[in-house]
Amino acid sequence: MTLVLRFVCVIIETKEREGLLNQRVFEQKVRERLFHSLMLYGENDYMMEYYLELYKKTLDASESMLSLYYEEYDFKRAKEYISQSSLFGGNNLLVVRSDKKIAPAELATLVELSFRGEGNYFLFLYTGEVRKASTMSKSFDEKRGAAHVRLFETNYRDAMNMLNERASQLGMQMEPYAMEHLYTLLNGKLSLAMNELEKLSIRKESIGRKEIDAMVYSAAPVSVDEVLLNLFEKRDITDTLEKLLELGENENSILRALQRFVQNLFLFHSYIRLHAEPDSREILGYRLPPQLERRIKSIVVRLKPATIGELYELVMDYELRMKSSRPVSTETLLYALFIKAEELLARAS
């Protein structure tokens, strides 16, 4: 645990101290005890899942925990669970995962109840926009055994250390620069690289670039953004979408990416109507590569505002369906969403 924690790029923000605690302080606190309540948010999905597994394993709560994901969240149910005494001297672990804002007062109540019960723990995994996390994070008061942690994307050096540590745990023999090649091939996606390590570990012999090229799909040409661009450019995306899912890309992450993409198309469309030419810095707050900006402009000028609106409603409809369905159904629903989007774009041409 400590090696992974040493290299994770995290910053803890506390209500009592307006500054930011560095990762060494966080590691020290985690070594001393788990926080009774912890809010995780940010850009690093892999580390979010790591901490979830850490809590489950440390508390031995895999069977007794209550998980309320997205539309399943119900304050009354969460409150009743975290208020009860631990059975047989065990621990209660409440896990709430949401990309929508939850009332700070409800979060504060769950934090307070977790603090009162010695065996009660509350983990809030917020997967929405980082800028909306601020008001909710204030409910995680350090005086109540709580903290809120923003997880940043892992940098290259730290990712290499984490991957090499995992390879060592799996008993793998990696040839020089093989790990760097794997990470680059997967477009710097740590979660995907970890998944591929598990598959490669089946081989007993040494792993080099040749074995990686033979067994691992390259993620560079099948990034989520490229799939979305191809969708709106009316190219076949079946194979690339399938590869993304095989590589371990989360269905809900792809859904959120599509939602953001459609929103950005509307912003580009509105800006172009006023100024004739797009300026990504003015529209998004940062500069896109010129080639990407040109591709988005080419898409936008062919779309009517009504079509963009229909696409957004379609995505919102399937977002609700996916969050209300069982995990085994989300992949099927994602494929259905892309088929419907293809049909809508074909009709609009």
In this structure, which topology does domain 2-151 adopt according to CATH?
Rossmann fold (3.40.50)
pTM of the model: 0.59
CATH number (1.10.8, 1.10.20, 2.60.40, 3.40.30) of 156-216 reads 1.10.8
Query: For residues 261 and 296, is the Cβ–Cβ distance under 8 A?
Result: no
Is residue 6 pLDDT above 50, yes or no? no
Query: For residues 91 and 123, is the Cβ–Cβ distance under 8 A?
Result: no
Instruction: Give the CATH architecture of domain 222-348.
Output: Up-down Bundle (1.20)
Write the pLDDT tens digit of every residue in 219-245: 554 578 888 999 999 988 888 888 888
Which residues lie across from 40 on neighbouring strands? Answer: 125, 149
Banded model confidence at residue 20, pLDDT cuts 50, 70, 90:
very low
Instruction: Tell me the torsion sign for CA atoms 293, 338, 151, 80.
Output: positive
Mean pLDDT of all residues in the chain?
83
Query: For residues 324 and 332, is the Cβ–Cβ distance under 8 A?
Result: no
Residue identified by tokens 């799996």 is: 170
Q: Where are the domains of the chain?
A: 2-151, 156-216, 222-348
Distance, CA of 298 to CA of 280 (rounded, Å)? 14
